[in-house]
Amino acid sequence: MSDHILLIDDEDLFREDLASLLRDEGFLCRTAPDGETGLERFEEAEPDLVLCDLVMPGMGGVEVIDRLGALASEVPVLLLTAHGTMDSAVGAFRRGAADYLLKPVSLDELLGKIRRALEQRQLVREVRALRRQLSEARAGARLIGSSRAMKEVRRRIERVAEVDSTVLVCGESGTGKELAARSIHEASPRRDRPFVAVNCAALPRDLFESELFGHMRGAFTGAHRDRQGYFELADGGTLFLDEISELPLDLQPKLLRAIEQQEFLPIGGSKPVRTDIRFLAATNRDLAADVEEGRFRQDLFYRLRVMEIALPALRERREDIPLLVEHLVRRLSLRLKRRLGGVEPDVMRTLMAARWQGNVRELENVLERAMILAEGETVTLADLPADLGGTRVPSTVSDDLREAVRAFEREHIGRVLEESGGNREEAARRLGIDASTLYRRLKEL
């Protein structure tokens, strides 16, 4: 496929002659007689490279680069001028120009600079692809766990990643909802496009709409320039709205329309902006209950929950704790620059018995604190917080990890059965397993 060049120059004869020469060299070339038209044609079909005159009536080349903003670093811009000075060259490079040529242009020099700029862009793409592959590998490692619940989470992520359906990720704080959302993005066809995460709970109430949809210059006091919102920044990629339950009720219809129509209107704007976004959302609250109580729109709730992924609390998948501890100790060792071999067996038993109201985030914080305090090569009980509460831990359990897990499982199932009044069906429901699985485990244990 031929590379697409956008040529912006106010000299009609020069512009059309150069465009013809570039087409003869095998490039696709569109032209524009001024900066404003050039920006419009850039938006219509993003080129692989821009050739732009530095000095033009109205919007000049440097202003074109400024208006392109971050895109200028992705799409190389080569500036052309008949009035070259060292100061103008340095200024152009500082604004983001990839290169600088003087008129009259030598075709060989121009072609050489174009090809080098396109090669550089391809290298950037390849680096991004490698980073994406590494990110995918890391994503698989972050969702740690071999429990039935985590296998179901990974299965759903795998199934939903290839399509553009909206997904609602549910779970308590600290269960890894953003990690699940990133895993969906990184396994999707949009993996090399932006992943923009927005914490709705952290946005100031009076800036909510501006942060999401952006604003035009002069739209309100203090709006001194156009500003892109998160929707525009996520174009082509994935927008993750964390703590979606905190979205103000009056903004929910606008979000619903933006999702359904794939367009939005910046504050102060008169023309809707088209987008291509995959939407993911997360909540630690019962949105269905919020709908019943009038705090969340029912139509938006159903639009977000095309697919739902529920992340289990850590206390509901205690068998994953040894794997999580191993992973977190290894990762924290690199960050803290501490060479630790792991945790003592009695520490592991204590960690498996703790309540973990803060889930994996709390587990990581406890381990980080313990590793900072540890004086030996492993974490000991003395390194754990004194207030780390939990269920009963058999003190006579073997140091063997598998036997410790087995003993804890026996203790845990017994406690749940006791709290369920001996009702095995209810106990199985609370444990998140089938009744037949519970019968088998009771017999094995």
Could you give the residue ranges of the DSSP H alpha helices within 2-106?
12-24, 35-44, 61-68, 71-74, 86-95
Query: Tokens at residue 91, please?
Result: 């200024």
Domains of the chain, by residue range, sit at: 4-123, 144-312, 315-444
Q: What tokens were used for 97?
A: 């120009």
| 42 vs 425: which has the higher pLDDT | 42
d(CA 334, CA 252): 43
89 and 66 in contact (C-beta within 8 Å)? no
Identical fold at 144-312 and 315-444? no
CATH 1.10.8.60 fits 315-444, yes or no: yes
Q: Where are the beta strands (DSSP E) in 82-173?
A: 99-102, 167-170
| Range from 130-144, 288-302, 339-353 carrying the lowest mean pLDDT | 130-144
| Fold assignment, 144-312 | Rossmann fold (3.40.50)
Percentage of the chain modeled with pLDDT above 90: 44
pLDDT at residue number 392: 43
pLDDT in tens, 61-110: 888 888 887 555 578 899 888 766 556 666 667 777 888 888 888 899 99
Q: Which pLDDT score is estimated for 67?
A: 83
The pair phi, psi for residue 216, each rounded to 5°, is -95, 155
- The mean pLDDT of the chain is 84
Q: Does 389 score more than 70 pLDDT?
A: no
Q: Residue 126 pLDDT more than 50? A: yes
- Per-residue pLDDT of 214-273, as tens digits, reads 888 877 777 777 788 899 899 999 999 999 999 999 999 999 999 999 999 888 888 888
Q: 312-349 pLDDT, tens per residue?
A: 999 999 999 999 999 899 889 888 888 888 899 889 98
CA distance 356 to 384: 14
Is it true that domain 4-123 has CATH number 3.20.20.100? Answer: no
pLDDT at 398: 52
